[in-house]
Amino acid sequence: MERFFAHTDTLIWEVDKAIDLENFLKEKYFSRNLTIDAYRHGLLSVKNQKVKKNIKLFKGDKVIYQIPKEKNSYTFDRTPLNIVDEDEYFLIINKPAYLTMTEAEYEKSCLANQIAYDFYQKGISAKIRFINRLDRDTSGIVVVAKNAYAQAYVMKQMELDAVEKKYISIVEGNIPENGVIEIPLERIKGEVKSKFSDNGKIARTEYKRISYYDGLSLVELSLLTGRTHQLRIHLASIGHCIVGDKLYGSTIDFPRQALHAISYSFVHPKGLKRSYKAAIPDDIKKLLNEKHLLLEEERNVCFL
């Protein structure tokens, strides 16, 4: 059985069968670019020798990948992060609403700057690699890879549709019990919005109604693709705008779109499937309670 060892600066695999190095790396979800970069910078070694081209591996060989030290160019923001989980591969954050991912023209405080300071405090020399991104006014799970291999590992799973991204939202009207929305989308040039377009990229959203009361529905959403504003546009397209989403037609007053990224699941490089969950923020909890949208037996469904 193949063995795997992880440290903060090296990854080590013990080979369990004869195989070419590049096929071995492909099985480990190395992207082609990551493999080329590893050759170029001498990051791979076998039998205590640096390897800069494809070679034959044999049972018992150890493949070592040296994780390079990196710098990031973000400004420090000392605001503490709401950390859900962390290991040598990933930093998992529950992002608050009203915070951009990176600096915007009129908003210098951003998640990337907060992560940069967190990395600095912990002595982590790494670029900030966002696995997923959220709109400024959307709260919830953000996954950050601490090295290029961790990023490539999750990106490969995205290609295989093996990553699960779930949200909860409060929407207008009595949405059907469940369904799939499949409408192609494209960005509008010069604007922050996207739109329906036959020439756009395929976009798929799965939804399930959790509860309904007095003109509003609580829904669980599965993001099957990842287009800009996908959930917001898709829900508006079937006549169920997200509460507070003025950009796409909501008529109900709420300070932001009532949308929260509640969980993100994938197979970790260590081999086990992990599901990271972000507690629902107080503003959405308050709305749920005011609108009587959450029954006691439904609390576990929504990870409250």
> Exposure pattern of 109-133 as b/e (b: 16+ CB <10 Å)?
ebbbbbbbbbbeeeebebbbbbbbb
pTM, 2 dp = 0.90
- The owner of tokens 């970069």 is 37
Residue 183 binned pLDDT confidence (cut-offs 50, 70, 90): confident
Q: Tens digits of per-residue pLDDT, 148-166? A: 999 999 999 999 999 999 9
CA separation for the pair 85, 93 (Å, rounded) = 7
Assign domain 160-298 to a CATH class. alpha beta
Domain with CATH 3.10.290 in the chain: 3-66
Distance CA(135)–CA(211), nearest Å, equals 25
Complete DSSP assignment for 57-115: E-TT-EEEEEPPP----PPP--PPP-EEEE-SSEEEEEEPTT-BSS-BTTB--BHHHHH
Q: What is the mean pLDDT of residues 44-49?
A: 93
Q: Quick check: 180 and 235 in contact, CB under 8 A? A: no
Please tell us whether the domain made up of 83-156 is placed in CATH 1.10.540.10: no
pLDDT of residue 149: 95
Collect all residues with Cβ–Cβ distance below 8 Å to 94 and sequence separation of at least 6: 82, 83, 84, 139, 140, 141, 142, 278, 279
Hey, how many other C-beta atoms are within 10 angstroms of the C-beta on 187? 16
What would the mean pLDDT of 273-280 be, rounded to a whole number?
A: 96
Classify residue 166 as exposed, middle or buried by CB count within 10 Å of its CB (0-12, 13-18, 19+): buried
Q: Is the pLDDT of residue 304 over 80?
A: no
Residue with tokens 């004869």: 18
pLDDT-derived band at 271 (thresholds 50, 70, 90) equals: confident
Start-to-end C-alpha separation, the chain: 40
* CATH hierarchy code of domain 3-66: 3.10.290
Crossing angle (nearest 10°) for helices 148-159 and 32-40: 160
d(CA 111, CA 207): 28
Between CA 83 and CA 124 the distance in angstroms is: 16
* CA–CA gap between residue 60 and residue 31 (Å, rounded): 24
All CATH 3.30.2350.10 domain ranges in the chain, comma separated: 83-156, 160-298
Which residues are tagged catalytic?
A: 135
pLDDT value, residue 2: 47
Query: Which amino acid, 259?
Result: L
Q: How far apart are CA 29 and CA 27, in angstroms?
A: 5
pLDDT tens by residue, 219-239: 999 999 888 889 999 999 999
**Residue in the block written with tokens 């900030």:** 128
